Amino acid sequence: MKAELVSSRQMAPEIRQFEFAVPEMAELKFLPGQFVSLSETLHDKKVTRAYSIASLPEGNRFSICLNRVEGGLFSPHLFALPTRMCAPTRR
């Protein structure tokens, strides 16, 4: 399944909350303590990292929080991602 970054919010210097949506699902079910694995091809190598979900289930969205690791493989990539604007969906 593919997730799209819909928002990124700085929580503290070098710490950010990332909110993702899974467009192909109306509802994403998960329990406290579960994690997601994010994969990307970086420098011609597939890199996968596991991150604990930091939000409650809400529609097809989930959030993770992480700190930027200088010299890390994945966190600098996430911190550089542009967010995608989505239309408001709830009242």
User: Does 86 map to a domain?
Assistant: no
Residue 28 near residue 36, CB atoms below 8 Å: no
DSSP state of 42: E
pLDDT at residue 86, as a whole number: 53
User: Does 23 map to a domain?
Assistant: yes
> What is the dihedral sign for C-alpha 24, 63, 15, 9?
positive
Domain interval for residue 37: 4-73
Can you give the CATH number for the domain in which 60 is found?
2.40.30.10
For 3-60, write each residue's pLDDT tens digit: 999 999 999 989 999 999 999 999 999 998 899 999 999 989 999 999 999 999 999 9
User: Does 8 map to a domain?
Assistant: yes
What total of structural domains would you count in the chain?
A: 1
Q: Is-above-0.75 flag for pTM?
A: yes
For 61-87, write each residue's pLDDT tens digit: 999 999 999 999 899 989 998 866 555
